[in-house]
């Protein structure tokens, strides 16, 4: 084998290894979805009697990235909540319109203002109409306790959804 071919093969295998490693991390299809159509999601929520845990985040927010990496993405990947909630995120400072729960186009900042969610990260717990079902969680500064806080809010959200779905 010539030296040129050896270098080419070495470069090829290095690139292939990097590509496979990237796909293993990013391409598993189990990341947190950046939601842009809440009307469509609301239909699924209503049909499946599920709630929504929504993280409001902003560009460059280190705590948002940490919350997603440490808690939300593993929760999505595990599938532990698949039967009862959707887990989504919404970047509030893009300026790119989204579809609200009522089907109208709005700025993500308008939606975050509705929930008093300008501080990021803010974790909301919503029903299919976009109503808050329990208190929101603001910030992410106690990772070791955060799962317990979320579980408490999810329990309250489940009770709210069961009570309100049984009315109709």
Question: Pairing relation of β-strands 122-126 and 51-57?
Answer: antiparallel
Domains identified in the chain and CATH numbers: 31-165 (3.40.30.10)
pTM score of the predicted model: 0.81
Q: Assess whether the previous peptide bond of 28 is cis (omega < 30° from 0).
A: no
Q: What integer is the mean pLDDT of 18-38?
A: 65
Q: Residue 4 has what pLDDT?
A: 72
**pLDDT tens column, 58-93:** 999 999 999 999 999 999 999 989 999 999 999 999
CA dihedral 102, 105, 106, 108 (to 10 degrees): 90
């Amino acid at each position: 084998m010539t030296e040129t071919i050896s270098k080419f093969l070495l470069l090829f295998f290095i690139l292939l290894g990097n590509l496979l490693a990237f796909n293993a991390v990013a391409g598993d299809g189990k990341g947190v979805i950046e939601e842009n159509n809440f009307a469509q999601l609301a239909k699924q929520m209503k049909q499946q009697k599920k709630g929504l845990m929504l993280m409001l985040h902003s560009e460059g927010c280190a705590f948002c990235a940490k919350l997603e990496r440490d808690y939300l993405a593993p929760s999505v990947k595990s599938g532990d909540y698949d039967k009862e909630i959707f887990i989504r995120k919404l970047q509030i400072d893009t300026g790119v319109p989204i579809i609200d729960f009522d089907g109208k186009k709005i700025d993500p900042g308008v939606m975050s203002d509705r929930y008093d969610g300008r501080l990021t990260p803010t974790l909301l717990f919503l029903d299919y109409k976009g109503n808050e079902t329990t208190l929101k969680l603001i910030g992410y500064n106690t990772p070791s306790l955060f799962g317990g806080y979320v579980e408490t809010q999810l329990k309250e959200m489940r009770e709210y959804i069961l009570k309100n779905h049984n009315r109709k």
